[in-house]
Amino acid sequence: MNFVKWRKMIYLTDDNEVEIPIFRTEEGRYLASSLGDPLIKGLTEVANARPKDPVTYLATYLYNFASKNKANEQEQESDVLIIPDREEENLENIENENFDEDAGYPRSPASDIPESTFSNPNRDEHGQSMIHFAAVRSYSKDGLYHLLLETQVNVGFRDELYRTARDVAEQANIRENVEEIDRYVVYLAARGETEKLVELLLEGYDHILDTEDEEVNIIDVAAQREHEATVQFLQSIPNYVNQREEVHAAIRANDVDRVKELLSKNNGGGKLLAVGKNSLGRCALHIAVLWENEELVKFIARTYPETLRIGDNVRIVQKGHV
């Protein structure tokens, strides 16, 4: 990009042609090379579209610009995994084939791609995505809902205070934003996007079954659209959450045998219990590390290596600690 063009943007000049530098020359050159192209394009888009909320419009454009560039430059692995089916290891050589296929667990969709079905988020050092910031802003009707549709960000992400974007909106007493986030979750069910709902559950998102759109519950919405797989998944959530919490409680109690028993009950269910996070953004391995139980850390890490790639609420992975 032409540095002169960028320089005009970062220097304010009054009618007497007195320059007030916002950035010095060296910093200006850096900004011109790193931000000049996307910012000029974004401002041009804002000028052409003249949206009601230009700040959010520009933020969304820059977010999408960065996401596309990252996707082209490298493959990024997600903190949240939709895990492909594989034969599980067991350190104790437990014969898992003898266990019944318990129908109570939510099933991970068959997929060969262990990556998020949501867009790759840009999150700051406090664990907040752009949706956390957007959740405390006021919009015209359906503004936040359309932003969620466009960005496809996982609303289950929690910040350093363990808050989702919905929690932030609720704390700010912006009920409209809470309802629009709920409406987006219902939208996923209405489209039969079970993979995304699985991700929300594994991320520890705790406002799935209580969501509704125009007073119609999420399960009823999925049933009306005849998404049977989605309905079955939603109905299995309470049992899964109870089992996950039982595993986490056993880890905190240092009950090694009970943890192994729970995780060995069912091939697919055991895996999902290991990788699933609680409402603090922690999976089984995070808790085992925090409780400094070396035996459980080794068991979980070796039997479910996927857990080594899962970040907590501020994206800290436990591989280094292990």
Domain that includes residue 256, residue range: 236-321
Which CATH number do you get for residue 208? Answer: 1.25.40
Which residues touch 65 (CB under 8 Å, ≥6 apart)?
Answer: 38, 41, 42
- Per-residue pLDDT tens digits for 255-309: 999 999 999 876 557 899 999 999 999 999 999 999 999 999 999 999 999 999 8
Instruction: Determine the Cα–Cα distance for residues 178 and 182; give it in Å rounded to an integer.
Output: 6
C-alpha closest to that of 276 among 235, 228, 239, 302: 239
* Of 183, 199, 226, the domain-final residue: 226
Contact 295, 256 (CB under 8 A): yes
* Of 177, 194, 226, the domain-final residue: 226
Measure the CA dihedral 315/80/146/159, to 10°: -20
Instruction: Determine the residue type at 183.
Output: R
- Percentage above 90 pLDDT, the chain: 48
In a domain, 18, yes or no: no
* Of 226, 254, 284, the domain-final residue: 226
Instruction: Dig out the tokens for 109 from the structure.
Output: 């969709």
Exposure of 139 in the CB half-sphere (CA atoms within 13 A): 27
Same domain, 247 and 280: yes
- Percentage above 70 pLDDT, the chain: 67
